[in-house]
Amino acid sequence: MLFAMAEHLELPRPWRLTLTAGWNLAESLGIPVAGYFVGAQLGGRDAGMLAATGVVWLTVIGRKVITRSVPGLLTISALVLTLQTAVVIATGSMLFFLLQFPLANLGLCVLFARTAPTRKPLVAQLAAEVVALRHPSHHPGLHRFFQGATWLWAGIFAVSTAGLAAAMALEPVKAFLLLTTAVTIGGVVAGTGASAFWFFRVLHRFGLRVRFAQG
């Protein structure tokens, strides 16, 4: 316990933290959304989906060539967009267009669940990449937290999948799209809040502190 109390977690200074998180979100979410709107304006919905998928995979390739690694959030964005685009383009029907939303959540559920029991749970990877959190990787309490938080997010996406599948069967299209937005935002807010609360409880339990980097 004395050894654990001497350790700490480190974040970049606020301006660098904002830049790091903003860049990760921009390349994983902002660039594909921009690609979708440009493509949709030029050629409709299908062209928008193809454009969004194309630009996100170009970003993946660029990351791999320049930095030799691809952030987890960018990988998630590329995989989910590819799944959605394949469903939309292959079927062309409204039913399968709506089906992309529960399928995307199911894909995220599987992705999080697959890494949860491993030595590199996805939440730990995202914390390191999105906010550049540095932490003692050998700390058993933190590792159990990251595994548990990854299972938590897998559960959130599993519940979202079931809820959206039921809503697709019971609700009209407009109501379903509104519910999709509400479920997505609500799930992210609830998961983030629960993860943050759990994280700070773990820090308190093990006497760990978060500090900003000196450089």
Whole-model pTM: value is 0.74
pLDDT at 151 over 90: yes
**Residue 164: exposed, middle, or buried by beta-carbon count in 10 A (0-12, 13-18, 19+)?**
buried
Summarize pLDDT for 74-128 with one digit per residue, the tens. Answer: 888 888 888 888 887 877 766 667 777 888 889 889 989 999 999 889 998 888 8
Centroid of chain to Cα 88: 21
pLDDT at 149 over 80: yes
d(C-alpha 12, C-alpha 20), whole Å? 9
CB 128 within 8 A of CB 134: yes
d(C-alpha 67, C-alpha 69), whole Å? 5
Q: Domain range holding 125? A: 2-212
Contacts of 169 (CB under 8 A, 6+ apart): none
d(C-alpha 11, C-alpha 23), whole Å? 16
Greater confidence (70 vs 50) lies with 50
Task: Name the phi and psi angles at 107, rounded to 5.
Answer: -60, -40
How many folded domains does the chain comprise?
Answer: 1
Range 173-180, long-range pairs (CB < 8 A, 24+ positions): 173/94, 173/98, 176/98, 180/101
Summarize pLDDT for 172-200 with one digit per residue, the tens. Answer: 878 888 888 888 888 888 988 999 899 98
d(C-alpha 109, C-alpha 103), whole Å? 10
Please tell me the predicted confidence (pLDDT) of residue 6. Answer: 46
Summarize pLDDT for 16-49 with one digit per residue, the tens. Answer: 767 777 787 788 878 888 888 899 899 888 898 8
DSSP 8-state assignment for residue 134: B
Confidence of residue 137 (pLDDT cuts 50, 70, 90): low
pLDDT at 51 over 90: yes
Please tell me the predicted confidence (pLDDT) of residue 117. Answer: 93
Please tell me the predicted confidence (pLDDT) of residue 204. Answer: 85
Please tell me the predicted confidence (pLDDT) of residue 152. Answer: 95
Residue 130 structure tokens? 């999105």
DSSP 8-state assignment for residue 208: -
